[in-house]
Structure 1
Amino acid sequence: MFNDLSSPLSLLETRRSGKPRDMVAPGPSEEELARILAVAARVPDHGKIAPWRFLIIGPDRRDAFQALLEEVYREEKPEAGRLELESVAQFAQQAPTLIVVLYKPNAERSIPLSEQRDSAACAAMQLENAATASGYVSGWITGWAAFSDGVHARLCEEGEEIVGFVFMGTPGKPLEERPRPALNEIVRTW
């Protein structure tokens, strides 16, 4: 087991991201994914406006997603070489499960847009926690596609932005622990 699932706190203490390119099948089943998404929707949400959405890109849509990314990449970078295009294709096809976390600000409400965006980021993090609790590994990636106007125009509804691409699956190799900051460097008492 790559995470300690013996208690909720142990799970959070040992949760770490995996590299989507190293993830293998299986990913969450439909039932598991529905539960993961339900957990992800239980985040702080000032005003109860749910300024986030989840877009599942299923295995049967990965080739179309790859084609979309390649088309936009070529439009935005016509000089792109073979290695760049292979990287775009690899991004689209990695890991068994892909959820795009979307943020749609609601300017009609008095809730600060920064708080709405924070709620969307919490939803992405909660996806990762729920995947871990379900026995999978996940990786939240942004990169070029998350900030591309062309990708937004083809993938998002009007006014939506991409918070990130959350990939899920089974680790194909041991997860690496990264250095964590020492608490005395990040905690202060006022």
Structure 2
Amino acid sequence: MSLTDPLHALDARRSVPSKQLGEPGPDDATLLRMLASAVRVPDHGKLVPFRFIRIQGDARHALGEYLAARTLHLDPAAADAVIAKDRARFSHAPVIITVVARLTSGHKVPEQEQLLTAGSVCFALLQSAQALGFGAQWLTGWMAYDDAVAETLGLAANERIAGFIHIGTPLLDAPERERPDPAALLSDWAPHA
């Protein structure tokens, strides 16, 4: 595929596993450039129903220690391997951007649309990271849905974690994987006679 193909960036998108993301990560100016592209998503009502929390440096390891403790709290019989996995979840990529959905209930724009906007930001951030030569992976996991984790990260009652976007320099070329055939997913609607 030619680099002049206008769809090349979309067609070439790959997730790089967070364990395969190393230093360097984006510096402040580069990260802000990525975010400037990521916020250009459909936003019905101009609510800006999202915000960002950056996790980097020692904060990654502190969050990992918190997750390990939280795992033990939730399951005192958790296996050592499970605890170790949770401890290391945020220790690989040098920068993790938590995309937080800020949901306004009772607004004419349904909360579902607001959440979809935040999800679009996650995808756009993946695209902008790759466009600038970084690898990225969008992860959630149990911690994205845990109230105590949300409180630890400073989320308000109307906020939800849309995703943790792990960003860094790829330590390997992410392989292509099988993709669905769009023709098999497409149907045409016609009114009933």
Scaled by the length of structure 1, what TM-score is found? 0.92
Identity %: 34
Select 1:125's aligned residue among 123, 126, 131.
123
Q: Which runs of 4+ in 1 moved over 6 A?
A: none
Distance in 2, matches of 1:11 and 1:60, equals 33
Q: Distance in 2 between matches of 1:169 and 1:5?
A: 23
Give SS of 2:60's match.
Answer: helix
> 2:45 — aligned with what?
47
**Residue aligned with 2:90, SS:** helix
| Residue equivalent to 1:152 | 150
- CA deviation digits over 1:95-117, x for unaligned, max 9? 11101111121014211111001
- Structure 1: runs of 5 or more not aligned: none
> What is the correspondence of 1:1-190 to structure 2 with a 5 Å cutoff?
6=4, 8-159=6-157, 160-190=159-189
- Greater alpha carbon shift after TM alignment, 59-68 vs 44-53: 59-68
> Secondary structure at 1:140's aligned position in 2?
strand
**Maintained 8 Å contact 2:61/2:88:** no
Question: How far has the Cα of 1:71 moved from its partner?
Answer: 2.2
Alignment TM-score, normalising by the size of structure 2:
0.91
- Cα distance in 1, alignment partners of residues 2 and 174 from structure 2: 13
Question: Following TM superposition, by how much is the alpha carbon of 1:4 offset from its aligned partner in structure 2, in angstroms?
Answer: 7.4
Aligned length: 188
- Distance 1:76-1:17 versus aligned 2 partners, 3 A rule: same
**After the TM superposition, which of the residue ranges 58-67 and 121-130 deviates more from structure 2?**
58-67
User: Residue 32 and residue 5 in structure 1: after superposition, are their counterparts in 2 closer, same or farther (change >3 A)?
Assistant: farther
